Amino acid sequence: MTGEVFIYAEQREGVLKKVALELLGAGRRLANDLGVPLGAILIGHGVKGMAQDLFAYGADKVYLVDAPELEHFLTLPYTTATVKAIKDFSPEIVVFPATHIGRDLAPRVAQRIYTGLTADCTGLDIDPESKLLVSTRPTFGGSLMAQIMCPTKRPQMSTCRPGVMRPLEPDRSRKGRIVKVDFKPAPGDMAVKLLEMVKEAHRKVDLEAAKIIVSGGRGVGGAAGFEKIRALAEALGGEVGGSRVAVDSGWIDHDHQVGQTGKTVAPELYIACGISGSVQHRAGMMGSTVIVAINKDPQATIHSVADYSIVGDLHEVVPALTAAIKAMQD
């Protein structure tokens, strides 16, 4: 074992994703605790230029797997490429993002190299005595936090939710080493071919990157009630979120869902409107810098985690807030 810490640097269509920078922040801390280098696995075609960003955000090395067959994400060749990098350089720890790609890739990699995988983590630490990776994740519907270690198999592997870890401040003067990883598709890897990419017509909601989120829950009362939520979000220059109840009721699309079964977010400002504050919802937004709760029930759990609480009818409070904000902007 080299003892290095690796993170999987996700890129899509030649664009490095924010979650890669978040994982570098977590990986840098783990590597520092172990006193080892931090490496980033970068897979694609013509993606070498992303290496400098990875160095700036904390990587010491970039393990580059570059081939025409890897231009677009396909499960089998990307699995082969990732396994090749791990087998060639034997890291102690590998962390993947808990994105659609990471959740597809990480279990296949774990199976091929016969190691364990802790999924959907919200915390990563090094145990000071054993020097093992401690992966923390919600369990039993978010009512408990489990701490999981892998004492025998290597590498220790986890997936980490987007929006949970914080990127480091970039240091553009940092330099690192690019290590090229030879890649040859295994028989059958290219059985699936990408014929065409069709993007959704509606605007993609990027809650994980939003600095301000205004979310609605059961108290919004219906799809029409979300117009008030949207108006406030627009006035603040933020995004619209929703609880599981709101999504299951068909009031708002699943792309907007915040919580354990939705997206984990960490905006600078999170405004929860008509949301009771179940453990599942709190698991998805507790990383927010400032939480504001608007709920007419003074006993609602959401008030206990809010920095500021407004006890009142959201159908009166939210339009009043929107009007006040717009008046300040005029």
Clarify whether residues 73 and 219 are in a common domain.
Answer: no
Q: Which residues make Cβ contacts (< 8 Å) with residue 74, sequence separation at least 6?
A: 189, 190, 192, 194
pLDDT digits (tens, 9 = 90+) for 243-300: 988 988 889 888 899 987 788 888 999 999 999 988 888 888 888 999 999 999 999 9
CATH number for 59: 3.40.50.620
- Alpha-helical regions (H) of the chain: 18-34, 51-56, 75-89, 100-113, 226-236, 244-248, 279-285, 302-305, 314-329
Q: Would you state the pLDDT for residue 147?
A: 87
Check whether 172 has a pLDDT greater than 60.
yes
Counting beta carbons within 10 angstroms of the beta carbon of residue 158, is it exposed (0 to 12), middle (13 to 18) or buried (19 or more)?
buried
Q: What percentage of the chain exceeds 90 in pLDDT?
A: 63
Check whether 47 has a pLDDT greater than 90.
yes
More confident residue, 254 or 113: 113
**Rounded distance between C-alpha atoms, residue 289 and residue 270, angstroms:** 8
Clarify whether residues 265 and 141 are in a common domain.
Answer: no
- Domain of residue 30 covers 5-191
Clarify whether residues 57 and 181 are in a common domain.
Answer: yes
Residue 22 lies in a domain: yes
pLDDT digits (tens, 9 = 90+) for 2-31: 589 999 999 988 889 989 999 999 999 999
Check whether 203 has a pLDDT greater than 60.
no
Give the global pTM.
0.72
Name the domain count of the chain: 2
- Four-residue CA torsion sign, 122, 134, 62, 60: positive
Task: Decide which of 163, 191, 219 is a domain's last residue.
Answer: 191
pLDDT digits (tens, 9 = 90+) for 206-229: 788 889 999 999 999 998 989 999
Q: Would you state the pLDDT for residue 194?
A: 80
Q: Which residues make Cβ contacts (< 8 Å) with residue 254, sequence separation at least 6?
A: 247, 262
- 34: closest CA among 85, 79, 74, 93? 93
- Four-residue CA torsion sign, 211, 257, 272, 139: negative
CATH number for 221: 3.40.50.1220
What HEC string does 297-322 produce?
A: CCCCCHHHHCCEEECCCHHHHHHHHH
Task: Decide which of 162, 191, 220 is a domain's last residue.
Answer: 191
